[in-house]
């Protein structure tokens, strides 16, 4: 069944998540074997970015290119989204030029409005509340490491940001136990907690305020920057609050010996994670970044019905 849009993992079923994961595994294996097929030849991916990016832009451009298609990059300020032209009009017009549109924006409302008015699939390439492409690449990385996601313990050490929210959804869809380790006051917002409870009846959303207890027997320890883009004014307060949550060798010792470290990058070395751990033998951050490309190939194929 063809997906209409990919805007939030709340809309994805466990069946869809498993199928996307399986397709990503297959496409990555073909890619590594040198068997690239131009199955999206003649298709065009639009990339609309209001926020700067390295991994998201390059991985999407590489993904469509390796499948035989092409990409057009648009900056939000250049097209005047919501300023010179209404978001609805933009969606209707851009749908005449591209086959799918990936959007990296400050507001989930922009994603949702584009999806309402576009006649082509809309992909959430990052918003203030969700980062579904990142989370699905993360579970691909976990699956590669352990051969499964189900039954594993995944701990996010940081605040309940967009990355953590999507990771909680992706891991729960695939049967893992998710734990958020954060200082008090930095847990998931109430609307996300309510939505999670309604989506996953009977599945607890676990919070811990002691990082050592949180990562006890963890299979995956995941961290992210303490202050995201747009939160620079909170940076100093966040440094003080999150200092005890730094991922270092001492904290990793509480996880399983086989545990891996994930980080969506870019990292602030010496803040949320120390270099010895980020560059150490348990780190999988580079394969994790690479998997953005492979998941997004699978996603583009699914959205375009190929």
Q: Tell me which of 131, 143, 238, 302 is the catalytic residue.
A: 131
Angle, vertex CA 177, rays to CA 176 and CA 182, nearest 5: 130
Q: What is the DSSP letter of 128?
A: S
CB burial of 255-265 (b: ≥16 within 10 Å; e: otherwise) equals bbeebbbbbbe
Provide the CB-side half-sphere exposure for 284 (13 A, CA).
Answer: 22
Q: Catalytic: 131? A: yes
Q: What is the DSSP letter of 226?
A: S
Q: Tell me which of 66, 224, 238, 288 is the catalytic residue.
A: 224
Q: Tell me which of 55, 104, 165, 263 is the catalytic residue.
A: 104
Q: Tell me which of 43, 66, 99, 134 is the catalytic residue.
A: 134
State how far the Cα of 134 lies from the Cα of 165, in Å rounded to an integer: 11
Residues 6+ apart with CB under 8 A from 277: 247, 248, 249, 252, 261, 283
CA distances from 274 to 31, 42, 54, 268 (A): 33, 45, 22, 9
Q: Catalytic: 301? A: no
Q: Catalytic: 264? A: yes
Q: Catalytic: 268? A: no
Q: Tell me which of 8, 43, 99, 264 is the catalytic residue.
A: 264
Q: Tell me which of 292, 296, 301, 302 is the catalytic residue.
A: 292
Report the catalytic residues.
Answer: 104, 131, 134, 224, 264, 292
């Amino acid at each position: 069944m063809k997906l209409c849009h990919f805007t939030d993992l709340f809309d994805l079923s466990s069946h869809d998540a498993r199928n996307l994961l399986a397709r990503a595994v297959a496409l990555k294996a073909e890619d590594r074997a040198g068997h690239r097929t131009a199955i999206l030849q003649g298709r065009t991916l639009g990339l609309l970015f209001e926020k700067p990016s390295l991994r998201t832009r390059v991985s999407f451009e590489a993904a469509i290119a390796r499948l035989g298609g092409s990409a057009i990059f648009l900056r939000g300020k250049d097209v005047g989204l919501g300023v010179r032209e209404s978001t609805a009009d933009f969606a209707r017009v851009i749908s005449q030029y591209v086959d799918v549109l990936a959007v990296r924006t400050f507001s989930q409302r922009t994603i949702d409005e584009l999806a309402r008015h576009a006649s082509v699939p809309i992909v959430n390439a990052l918003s203030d509340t969700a980062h579904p492409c990142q989370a699905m690449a993360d579970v691909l990385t976990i699956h590669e490491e352990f051969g499964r996601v189900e039954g594993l313990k995944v701990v996010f050490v940081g605040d309940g940001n967009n990355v953590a929210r999507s990771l909680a959804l992706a891991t729960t869809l695939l049967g893992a136990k998710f734990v958020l380790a954060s200082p008090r006051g930095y847990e998931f917002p109430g609307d996300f907690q309510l939505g999670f409870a309604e989506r996953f009846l009977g599945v607890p959303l676990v919070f811990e305020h002691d990082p050592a207890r949180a990562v006890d027997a963890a299979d995956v320890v995941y961290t992210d920057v303490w202050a995201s883009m747009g939160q620079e004014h909170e940076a100093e307060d966040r440094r003080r609050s999150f200092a005890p949550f730094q991922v270092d060798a001492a904290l990793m010792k509480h996880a399983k010996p086989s545990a891996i470290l994930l980080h969506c990058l870019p990292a602030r070395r010496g803040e949320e994670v120390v270099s010895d751990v980020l560059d150490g033998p348990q780190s999988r951050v580079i394969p994790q970044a690479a998997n953005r490309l492979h998941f997004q190939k699978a996603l583009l194929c699914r959205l375009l019905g190929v």
